[in-house]
Amino acid sequence: MKTAYTYVTLRYVHDPVTEEFANVGVVLFSPEARCLEARFSHRYRRLKSMFLNIDQEHYRFQIRRISNRFELFAKEVAEGLNSHKATDILSLVHGVLPKDDSSLQWSQGGGGFTENPRLEIERLFERLVEKYIEGNERISRTDDEVAKPFRATLETRRVASFVQPKRISGKDFEYDFQFAWKNSVWHLYEPVSFDLLDPNSIRDKANRWLGRGMALQDPNEAFKIYFLLGEPKSDDAKGAFVNARHILEKVPGQKQLVQEAWIEKFSQEVAEEIARHNTGPLA
């Protein structure tokens, strides 16, 4: 079932006179789904190429501060404890970053309907922010692109109907996995693209998953996560990818890292297992 959402972009406005700006983040709010999601770019190279005299340290400090605030508010929204009592996204974001004459400004709101707000924020971030990052900063592939061969195999083998999104809830955190089916435990398949040309972004993404894994401990249901890894094409990022795999190996609980070269064969094995058990529609 689709739910309504609204979103705003965070803009870096270098000169209020010319009003030149670059999108550096997106915030999505869906009160009905109790979902607040925010994505921000910590990279400044594009801004520097556009505006030259960027204060790198100040920019990164501000983005980290805003990002941390939204992480806290996202938990409150998920738990129905929104301290701002905000019913619209502009009130909410201005509670984090008030409207003033600083270089970081919120856009006017947009919105729509989606079946999965957490996937929608990734699409918005890619379209409104990452799409315009040039050169070595641009994402080569999204998580959805890494998932394509896995999804295609399930559809070809006619078992895709047995797979559905699944929300796993820990004590203080919950996450919606896009691909899941249940045998004795929930099997969760999560595409993770590390095809990023910024080594720090690769490590940061792995650390976010380590944090999520720790926050999903003590769930109501047993599960195993299969990370479908998209590997970086850049030789400069290979070392960071090794670091990322080591970080994911520290995720607590049952898990398996599926290297990109194995995804096609792994997908066939999953399809065969689903067909063999013929579990029917998932509860």
Residue 283 banded pLDDT, cuts 50, 70, 90:
very low
Q: How far apart are the first and last CA of the chain?
A: 16
Task: Find the range with the poorest average confidence among 12-16, 68-72, 94-98, 103-107.
Answer: 12-16
Q: How far apart are CA 166 and CA 116, in angstroms?
A: 11
Spatial CB neighbours of 151, under 8 Å, sequence gap ≥ 6 = 160, 179
pLDDT of 6 > 70? The answer is: yes
What Cα–Cα distance (Å) separates residue 214 from each residue in 16, 167, 211?
A: 43, 15, 5
> Per-residue pLDDT tens for 205-247?
999 999 999 989 876 789 999 999 999 988 888 999 999 999 9
Beta bridge partners of 106: 10
Which amino acid is located at 191 in the chain? P
Tell me the backbone φ, ψ of residue 279, rounded to 5 degrees.
-70, -20
**Comparing C-alpha atoms, which of 133, 122, 136, 125 is closest to residue 237?**
136
Higher pLDDT, 187 or 133: 187
Q: How far is CA 174 from the centre of its chain?
A: 13
Q: How far apart are CA 209 and CA 149, in angstroms?
A: 22
- CB 274, CB 181: distance < 8 Å: yes
Q: Where are the alpha helices (DSSP H) in the chain?
A: 45-51, 56-78, 89-96, 117-128, 143-156, 199-215, 238-248, 263-277
Stretch 94-122: mean pLDDT:
87
Higher pLDDT, 41 or 39: 39
Instruction: For the sheet with 164-169, list strands across it.
Output: 164-169, 174-182, 186-193, 223-230, 254-258
Give, to the nearest 10 degrees, the angle between helix 199-215 and helix 238-248. Answer: 10
**What's the predicted TM-score (pTM) here?**
0.54
Spatial CB neighbours of 68, under 8 Å, sequence gap ≥ 6 = none
* pLDDT for the residue 184: 87
Spatial CB neighbours of 181, under 8 Å, sequence gap ≥ 6 = 162, 163, 164, 187, 274, 279, 282
Beta bridge partners of 36: 29
Stretch 259-276: mean pLDDT:
94
Select the highest-mean-pLDDT range: 7-16, 65-74, 256-265: 256-265
Q: How far apart are CA 120 and CA 123, in angstroms?
A: 5
Residue 45 banded pLDDT, cuts 50, 70, 90:
low
